[in-house]
Structure 1
Amino acid sequence: MLKVRTPKNARAKRELEKRAPKLVETGKKTLILQGTKTSNTLNAVMTELYLLKKGSAIRYTRKNENIRPFESGGETSLEFFSLKTDCSIFIYGSTSKKRPDNLVIGRTYDHHIYDLVEVGVENFKPISSFTYDKKLGPQVGSKPFICFIGEGFENVEELKHLKEVLVDLLRGEVIENLNLSGVDRAYVCTAISSDKVFFTHCALRLKKSGTVVPRMELVEIGPSMDLVIRRHRLPNEGLRKEAMKTSKDHPKKKVKNVGQDVIQGKIGKIYVPDQKLGEMALPNKSKGVKRERREAKTKNNANEPVSKKQKEKILHNSQN
């Protein structure tokens, strides 16, 4: 196990905070590793899964002897690699006489095993066995559609668990806005029986439909395989509750004089102050104001004292 050390500087502290569990998760990385014995089919499956997850996956090609995910104490190495690479999803491949071409897909919480699904690979077809226009090949980093066909994904416990794990494995980073041109592929999972799923990878071809929305066609580009469920292990209830915690929305600040009604919707109260018309300033262009000014001017002139020269001028005008 890795020795627990306290950070000695701010940079190391920030790095540890990035790896710590978060209420709002960032994109999950996938760790792909193998056991002591694998087959050519299993190696091809892991290689092509790594190519599909390119950019958000880490592949280890060395053999690991001590990894036994379903046994007590056998998950120590897995947790070590999860902590070392900061990966929260892993794919472990091994083959044996009892379980040939075996894949274990699991998730971790706080770098401890959360849940596990073990599947067997049958009828595998690599990408090289499909012929299609290479221009339809999906771009690195594009977002996929994930389709689950069949009632078993809602009724059968094993298939419901496999669906949850596959969604986490294939969806990539969660985003808010999406451009239609960036969705160029689809993963199709079909429930054949209660323990068998047909998995295939298709490209999306956009064609004219006579409307603004184009018509889509699926072109199988591989890989494809049958996944037979062998074993699975669900998380315990306490761990599930801890891992499913979400950030609570901040309570909205109460707005004064605003209410809600079932029929009318949002209702508000508006308070209008009393209008003091007597104190309102009238515009300067008003005729009434001009008249009042003229009257006030003449009144002021009448009340002003008359000088000696003005009196002589007034007297002279009256004699003439």
Structure 2
Amino acid sequence: MSLRIKTPKTGRAKREVFKRAPKLVETGKKTLICHGTKSSNVLNAVLTEIYHLKKDNAVKYTRKNDKIRPFESGGETSLEFYSLKTDCSIFVFGSHSKKRPDNLVIGRTYDHHIYDLVEVGVENFKSMKSFSYDKKLAPMIGSKPFFAFIGEGFDNIVELKHLKEVLLDLFRGEAVTNLNLAGLDRVYVCTAVSSNKVFFTHCALRLKRSGTIVPRMELVEVGPSMDLVVRRHRLPDESLKKESMRTAPELAKKKEKNVSRDAIQGKIGKIYVPDQKVGDTALPNKAKGVKRERREAKNKSESNKQESKKQKQDSE
């Protein structure tokens, strides 16, 4: 039985296939937001607020999904199908049960297959509406955020280290090389309260005059804010991680020979100068003594030639 391959026939289908094709420089990652069979008011509010923060690059499903269980074998099939259908590489799945109340699963996919998972419990949730502030400070949709990770646990504890990577991928948006300072209007602050608990909040950034080129920054909490308690997590397989971290040969940086970089001095290079052959260089003004020596050497060579000729004649 041969597999049937469908090719796009319309221009719209061709453009859609081209958008989903692999690229040398990938665009921002889309986020899929969905929930399971049972949910709570708190969890519905959390998913809605995450959707508003990612509104420019997110897809939200409102129907209940009975078959999605990310940590169980076979329970991720529907999730991978939705990821392929919506072209989303990050997902946020919410579920509520007696054993795990207000449960939130954040995960990433590679080639539309589950890459890694982090499960957290939501506590002390405060929505955007509960904060009072000047509405002019509200962050704009699509603006680039700052991230502040406070605490040694994000470097020492595996669970918090993994949560840090997933949160960065979830909220950072598209990778850019240059930034406009006026477009930086929000900060995500994550504080490691304990070995498995993180305080997460969203703040607006207010720039004020400081008398120097660098402005003075003030943070105004605009929400949402919540405590994230790490419950379960699943790291990616080493072979899969190695494959996902590969870079295209066209983007690989060529190694600069004899160049090193230092945090203080910056770029340092070594220049190799070949040996100078001074004896072979032509001098502009030659000394008279040199000319006399050459004349004497010439006369000596001529006399030696004449003596060799006489010796040959005498021998004959």
Q: What is the TM-score when the length of structure 1 is the normalising length?
A: 0.77
| Amino acid in structure 2 at the alignment position of 1:237 | E
Aligned to 2:176: 175
Aligned to 1:205: 206
| Amino acid in structure 2 at the alignment position of 1:159 | L
| Amino acid in structure 1 at the alignment position of 2:227 | D
Aligned to 2:30: 29
| Amino acid in structure 2 at the alignment position of 1:62 | R
Aligned counterparts, 1:73-222, within 5 A: 73-222=74-223
| Amino acid in structure 1 at the alignment position of 2:111 | D
**Partners of 1:253 and 1:209 in 2: how far apart?**
42
C-alpha change, 1:77 and 1:261, in structure 2 (3 Å) is closer
C-alpha change, 1:215 and 1:264, in structure 2 (3 Å) is closer
Aligned to 1:7: 7
Alpha-carbon shift at residue 8 of structure 1 (Å): 4.3
C-alpha change, 1:61 and 1:152, in structure 2 (3 Å) is same
**Partners of 1:253 and 1:172 in 2: how far apart?**
30
Q: SS at 2:248's partner residue?
A: coil
Q: Structure 2, unaligned stretches of length 5 or more?
A: 261-267, 275-316
**Partners of 1:159 and 1:64 in 2: how far apart?**
28
Say whether residues 1:236 and 2:258 are aligned partners: no
Preserved CA contact (<8 Å) 1:69 1:75: yes
| Amino acid in structure 2 at the alignment position of 1:57 | A
C-alpha change, 1:268 and 1:56, in structure 2 (3 Å) is farther
Aligned to 1:275: none
**Partners of 2:52 and 2:153 in 1: how far apart?**
29
Q: SS at 1:55's partner residue?
A: helix
| Amino acid in structure 1 at the alignment position of 2:87 | D
Preserved CA contact (<8 Å) 1:21 1:110: no
Alpha-carbon shift at residue 213 of structure 1 (Å): 1.5
Alpha-carbon shift at residue 6 of structure 1 (Å): 3.2
Preserved CA contact (<8 Å) 1:23 1:245: no
Alpha-carbon shift at residue 15 of structure 1 (Å): 3.3
RMSD of Structure 2 on Structure 1 (CA) = 2.4
Alpha-carbon shift at residue 171 of structure 1 (Å): 0.2
Q: SS at 2:193's partner residue?
A: strand
Report sequence identity in percent: 71
Q: SS at 1:193's partner residue?
A: coil
Q: For the pair shown, which has the larger CA radius of gyration, 1 or 2?
A: 1
**Partners of 1:45 and 1:9 in 2: how far apart?**
41
Aligned to 1:59: 60
Q: Structure 1, unaligned stretches of length 5 or more?
A: 270-320
Tell me how many residue pairs correspond in the alignment.
Answer: 263
Aligned to 2:49: 48
Q: SS at 2:99's partner residue?
A: coil
| Amino acid in structure 1 at the alignment position of 2:119 | E
Alpha-carbon shift at residue 177 of structure 1 (Å): 1.0
**Partners of 1:253 and 1:45 in 2: how far apart?**
46
C-alpha change, 1:182 and 1:7, in structure 2 (3 Å) is same
| Amino acid in structure 1 at the alignment position of 2:50 | L
Aligned to 1:279: none
| Amino acid in structure 2 at the alignment position of 1:219 | V
| Amino acid in structure 2 at the alignment position of 1:108 | T
| Amino acid in structure 2 at the alignment position of 1:101 | D
C-alpha change, 1:4 and 1:201, in structure 2 (3 Å) is farther
Alpha-carbon shift at residue 268 of structure 1 (Å): 8.7
**Partners of 1:129 and 1:253 in 2: how far apart?**
53
Q: SS at 1:174's partner residue?
A: coil
| Amino acid in structure 2 at the alignment position of 1:67 | I
Deviations 1:106-144 (A, max 9, x none): 000000000000000000000111111111000111100
Alpha-carbon shift at residue 21 of structure 1 (Å): 4.0
Deviations 1:73-130 (A, max 9, x none): 0000000000000000000001000000000000000000000000000000001111
Aligned to 2:312: none
Alpha-carbon shift at residue 267 of structure 1 (Å): 6.8
C-alpha change, 1:266 and 1:93, in structure 2 (3 Å) is same
Q: SS at 1:212's partner residue?
A: coil
Preserved CA contact (<8 Å) 1:200 1:222: yes
